[in-house]
Structure 1
Amino acid sequence: MENDLDMLRELSLAERLGRLHRLWRTVADLELAPLGLTHPRWTALWKLCQRGGRLGQKALAEALEIELPSLMRTLGQLEEQGLIERHCCSQDKRARIVTLTAAGKALLDQIEDRIMVIRRELLTGISPQELAQFEDIVHRISANALGKIAAQNEERE
């Protein structure tokens, strides 16, 4: 009986973490919508910037943890907005390199400002120590999950 209760608590925690992610994303999307950005667009720009502003399409998809076909439409939209450019890779003509344009870099400054305001608002009332502890716990749960996935993949091979 106690194991059942523990399982329910774990499911509840997972559900709450999922809800927190969705709520945070919704708040960010509402704040960034006036800039002409959807979640896929601003996260692609953000990740591209974090990776140096120049990255292969496949590497960007991997960094975003999405499939390349899912990223292609978003990149087309960002290109139409003049925020990125795509060029053939000099080493592999089949590969495409994505780079931020000056307009994309300028927009990222606005995105960063708005994201930092959102972060401050959502973390109101949480001390730096509490936040550090929460981040550590989330990191440990993620590490445990990755270990479990790796072990299951090894068993299958």
Structure 2
Amino acid sequence: MVKDLEMLRELSLAEQLSRLSRLWRTVADHELAPLGLTHPRWTALWKLSRLGGSLSQKSLADALEIELPSLMRTLGQLEEQDLIARHCCHQDKRARIVTLTPAGKALLDQIEDRIIGVRRELLGGISQQELTRFEEIIARISTNAIDKLTQQSEERE
């Protein structure tokens, strides 16, 4: 028990995961900068594409795990670049639907090629078995964190 506690104090896993995330993002951002894309722009395009290419602004913000007001500026910039279009929803006139334009779809091919290249480089020297195990561990930590947040929320009620 004492040894486990010492290990938890010495290994700053959260800091390492946070650093890894920042480094990965920085490498990807640098790779995509020549395409005129900032992190918020390319991640919004990427997520929109992965979710079918047409989605409400609110759903896109939820999928990106950001607040809607934070997304609005980015969507305006993407619209100015003719990469997305926004229009009113037929079912709910208050909602705005974001769709990829042909230019946005074409740019996504370039984004995907570059992101796959970054992934290939960053995962160099790691076997598929190691990667699978790492993904399983990350999923378990995420599940534990969600369970803890749910528990905390229930305790507050």
C-alpha distance in 1, partners of 2:117/2:21?
17
**How big is the alpha-carbon RMSD for the aligned residues of Structure 1 and Structure 2?**
1.1
Q: Which residue of 2 aligns with 1:134?
A: 134
What's the CA shift string for 1:34-61, capped at 9, x where partnerless? 0000000000000000100000000000
Find the residue that maps to 1:92 and give its secondary structure.
coil
Find the residue that maps to 2:103 and give its secondary structure.
helix
Q: Which residue of 1 aligns with 2:41?
A: 41
Q: Which residue of 2 aligns with 1:90?
A: 90
Q: Which residue of 2 aligns with 1:74?
A: 74
C-alpha distance in 1, partners of 2:75/2:93?
18
User: What residue identity is the alignment partner of 1:8?
Assistant: R
Structure 1 length-normalised TM: 0.96
Displacement of 1:7 after TM fit? 3.5
Displacement of 1:132 after TM fit? 0.3
Q: How do 1:53-64 residues align onto structure 2 when only pairs under 5 Å count?
A: 53-64=53-64
Displacement of 1:2 after TM fit? 4.4
Q: Which runs of 5+ in 2 are unaligned?
A: none
Displacement of 1:8 after TM fit? 1.4
Displacement of 1:94 after TM fit? 1.1
Q: After TM superposition, where is structure 1 displaced by more than 6 Å over at least 4 residues in a row? A: none
Q: Which runs of 5+ in 1 are unaligned?
A: none
What's the CA shift string for 1:12-42, capped at 9, x where partnerless? 1110000000000000000000000000000
C-alpha distance in 1, partners of 2:3/2:139?
27
C-alpha distance in 2, partners of 1:9/1:71?
38
Find the residue that maps to 1:152 and give its secondary structure.
helix
Say if 2:150 is the partner of 1:150: yes
User: What residue identity is the alignment partner of 2:51?
Assistant: R
Q: Which residue of 2 aligns with 1:8?
A: 9
C-alpha distance in 1, partners of 2:148/2:66?
21
Displacement of 1:78 after TM fit? 0.2
C-alpha distance in 2, partners of 1:73/1:139?
32
